Amino acid sequence: MKVSTAKLLILNLINKLDRQFFPATDGNVSIRTKEGLVITPKGWNKLKLRFNDLIYTQFDNINPNTSSEVLMHIQIYKKRENINVILHTHHPSFLKLAYKHRPIEPVIDELKLFLGKIPVSEYAPPGSMELAINVEKALKNFKGVIMKKHGAVFVARNTKEILYTIKRALTGAEIYES
């Protein structure tokens, strides 16, 4: 995918999500390109981003202005060739599960068919390589991970798919809340 297309798709994806996905400057989104990835910048409110604010970076020569969780995005893209979109969020529904170290189990048929389990990854400090490794290890072939005491990350082949995954994961998280 071209860098310019990836930038447009990221802006479009952020626009389609509820504000709760990106409190303050938290959360980040990336899309794989031909030779690297486009990712949201460090320390920005995602809802105010414009086309030129999004950053292209290579896997091995990381632009210092990229999101603080860029290592996690790169680790997932390196290990999972079928994944092209990654979204990390501190949405409160997922934070509750992260705090309790609780996975989303596919307890209803719709979740069993289209989401599957969302497991919990081991804790490591935000932005660290250790966190990137722990998340990728827990992710395996699942569609997302609850990051212990931190938040959640979701992956997909494209932006349409990640929207469905996130909506279903929210349903799963809400079942636990009730």
What lies within 8 Å, CB to CB, of 41 at 6+ separation is: 49, 53, 54, 55, 65, 66, 67
Question: How many residues interact with Zn ion (rule CB under 5 A)?
Answer: 1
Should residue 151 be labelled a site residue for Zn ion when binding is judged by CB under 5 A? yes
CB of 61 to Zn ion, least distance (A): 23
Q: Tell how far CA 121 is from the center of its chain.
A: 13
CB of 67 to Zn ion, least distance (A): 9
User: Residue 124 corresponds to which tokens in the numbers above?
Assistant: 């490591």
Q: In this complex, which beta carbon is closest to Zn ion, that of residue 21 or of residue 77?
A: 21
Q: In this complex, which beta carbon is closest to Zn ion, that of residue 44 or of residue 114?
A: 44
Q: In this complex, which beta carbon is closest to Zn ion, that of residue 31 or of residue 132?
A: 132
116/33 Cα distance (integer angstroms): 27
33/74 Cα distance (integer angstroms): 12
For residue 70, the surrounding DSSP H or E stretch is: helix 70-79
Interface mask toward Zn ion for 94-133; x: CB under 5 A = ----------------------------------------
Give the residues lining the site for Zn ion (CB under 5 A).
151
